[in-house]
Amino acid sequence: MGSHTVTRADLCEAVYQKVGLSRTESAELVEQVLAEISASLEGGESVKLSSFGSFVVRSKGERIGRNPKTGEEVPISPRRVMVFKPSNVLKQRINDALVEGAS
């Protein structure tokens, strides 16, 4: 498995290399893309990126949890969570790249 961690800086570099904007503007555009996706999710709207996957917002009602150490029951407050559902294309590409002997 890889050991490197890819960050914003790597995404900016990729945009800089492939699109031909300045480094400053590449960084600015990467921020705008992430901000736009975040804003859509914050507004409760899911984001579907074909052949990559979709980000979906789910609302969870109150439920009873348990402190695993003490066994004590504690209410878990209602909340909204975001889930990433990878597309079949993404799953296939990752699996093919990493499973040994996969064709």
Partner 1 sequence: MIKSELVQTIAERNPHLYQRDVENIVNAILDEVTEALMRGDRVELRGFGAFSVKNRPARVGRNPRTGQKVEVGEKFVPFFKTGKEMRERLNDGTDHGEDD
Positions touching partner 1 (CB under 8 A) are: 1-8, 10-11, 14-15, 18-19, 21, 26, 29-30, 32-34, 36-38, 40-42, 45-50, 52-53, 57, 60, 65, 76-77, 79-84, 86, 90-91, 93-95, 97-99
Q: Give me the least distance between CB of 70 and partner 1, in Å please.
A: 17
At its nearest, how many Å lie between partner 1 and the CB of residue 7? Answer: 6
- The closest alpha carbon to 27, from 8, 6, 44, 49, belongs to 8
Q: Are 61 and 77 in contact (CB under 8 A)?
A: no
